[in-house]
Amino acid sequence: MTGAHCVISLINGTDPACMVHTHYAPCPRDGEPANPGVVHTDPHPTRNEAVAHWRARTAGQRTLVIHTGRLGDDHRIGENDVDCPCGPDVIWARESTP
């Protein structure tokens, strides 16, 4: 992905940071590719609210993995950080252009 734009949000309730490039604000990486790491969440309180929160914090520029099954002690993510035994709901990052 190229040309990702910054989305600044508060972490720990006080520190502004770019959720797309994972850098404290002000982020010097605007226009660069988004961090390739995926965002993991549970579908709580609902799947729609989890997706809305992800969109607000990343503008859909990072892949989202919603864990849908029972997470056991051996919860391994696997290939590309999106395959796991919980049967995840994966929403792939959208492509951005400069």
Domain residue ranges of the chain, discontinuous segments joined by +:
8-91
Does residue 7 contact residue 54 with C-beta atoms inside 8 Å? Answer: no
**Which residues does 15 contact at the CB level (< 8 Å), separation at least 6?**
24
Q: Report the half-sphere exposure of 90 (CA within 13 A, side-chain side).
A: 15
Average pLDDT per 10 consecutive residues for the chain, totaling 98 residues:
86 94 96 91 89 95 84 54 72 71
Confidence (pTM): 0.79
